[in-house]
């Protein structure tokens, strides 16, 4: 049993490291783009200042930092408003809501976390999510569909999963990965559009006095369009793949650490098995926050999906998540290996 837990903890730590390396890869990719921009556009300047490339690189890093800070600031309550969540308290009269509130209280005590705010989302699609940049500012939301579908044991498994997201700072990591994808997308399309504007603005000039300046500006425009095009063709798809990879790893981690928190993997297993069946399409939940959900919400997209579509999923397939939890429970062959892929 002790070896069983040691192996589980090793897999949890390995999963965390994969997520961290993916975030490092994000920053590495963005900084490669920054260096290319500085080197390319540095050739169009007449300055003899050897520190000017470093100055421009620093400016780009500051812009990136400000963008990430804004994304952090906008997170949290905006997500709850986007999904039309209504806060409940200890004095709620609804017995189902009271049950949810009590489970969140129990899980927060078990995890050693401050009590998060609790929200109910009026959506028939069974789902749940956690938000907040820190445990002190965290919130847990469950949909009406989840409350209607799950018994107490299953709700404990689901809420344990969400509390694990809070404990593991997964919301902060998810927000960071989404912000980096957004920054790369804005950078790619921004360079392309500015380069096109420069080409159109100066492409028609032919007077002898302005030929040199016009050609100079056109070269800059071409360079911006080329770099923007490469970012759009290569950088954006790669950044999306990295974002989805991080999300799937954090979901797998929360499944296992949530099972540890409740001490009962069967609760989440039973919940996932119910979610394998037909469920209503999401009507209130926002597609923009699907990465934070317990399971990939349906927005009218059902049926068999291609390998590429699965690579773009925010969550591992339910059958894989069930299998991992059954391994934690020791129900499959007695193996001590826990694959969180």
Q: Residues 125, 280: contact at Cβ < 8 Å?
A: yes
Q: Is 162 marked active-site?
A: yes
Who's near 4: CB < 8 A, 6+ residues apart? 330, 336
Identify the DSSP state of 90. Answer: T
Tell me how far CA of residue 120 lies from CA of 83, 96, 186, 192, in angstroms.
Answer: 10, 11, 34, 43
Out of 162, 243, 260, 296, which one is annotated catalytic? 162
Report the distance separating Cα 294 and Cα 290, nearest Å.
9
Measured at the alpha carbon of residue 300, what is the angle toward residues 274 and 284, in degrees to the nearest 5? 80
Widest CA span in the chain: 84
**E strands in the chain:** 86-88, 117-121, 128-131, 139-143
* DSSP 3-state percent helix, strand, coil across the chain (nearest 5): 70, 5, 25
Q: Residues 230, 153: contact at Cβ < 8 Å?
A: no
Residue closest to 120 by CA, chosen among 138, 150, 98: 98
What residues are annotated to the active site?
162
């Amino acid at each position: 049993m002790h070896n069983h837990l040691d192996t589980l903890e090793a897999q949890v730590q390995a999963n965390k490291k994969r997520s961290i390396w993916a975030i490092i890869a994000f920053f590495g990719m963005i900084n490669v783009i920054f260096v290319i921009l500085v080197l390319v556009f540095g050739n169009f300047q007449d300055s003899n200042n050897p520190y000017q490339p470093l100055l421009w690189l620093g400016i780009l890093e500051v812009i990136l930092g400000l963008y990430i800070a804004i994304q952090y600031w906008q997170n949290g309550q905006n997500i709850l408003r986007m999904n039309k969540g209504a806060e409940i308290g200890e004095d709620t009269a609804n017995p189902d809501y009271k049950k949810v509130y009590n489970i969140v209280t129990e899980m927060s005590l078990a995890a050693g976390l401050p009590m998060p705010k609790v929200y109910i989302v009026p959506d028939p699609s069974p789902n749940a999510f956690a938000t907040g940049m820190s445990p002190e500012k965290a919130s847990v939301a469950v949909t009406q569909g989840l409350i209607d579908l799950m018994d107490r044991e299953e709700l404990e498994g689901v809420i344990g999963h969400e509390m694990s997201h809070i404990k593991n700072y997964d919301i902060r990591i998810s927000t960071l990965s989404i912000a980096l994808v957004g920054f790369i997308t804005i950078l790619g399309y921004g360079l392309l559009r500015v380069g096109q504007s420069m080409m159109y603005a100066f492409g028609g000039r032919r007077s002898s006095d302005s030929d040199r300046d016009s050609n100079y500006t056109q070269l800059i425009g071409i360079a911006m369009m080329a770099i923007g095009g490469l970012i759009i063709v290569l950088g954006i798809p790669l950044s999306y793949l990295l974002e989805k990879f991080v999300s799937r790893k954090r979901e797998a981690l929360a499944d296992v650490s949530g099972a540890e928190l409740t001490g009962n993997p069967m609760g989440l297993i039973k919940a996932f098995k119910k979610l394998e069946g037909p469920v209503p399409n999401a009507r209130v939940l926002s597609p923009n926050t699907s990465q934070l959900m317990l399971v990939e919400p349906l927005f009218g997209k059902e049926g068999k999906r291609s390998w590429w579509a699965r690579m773009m999923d925010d969550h591992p397939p339910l059958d894989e998540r069930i299998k991992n939890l059954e391994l934690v429970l020791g129900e499959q062959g007695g193996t001590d290996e826990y694959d969180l892929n």
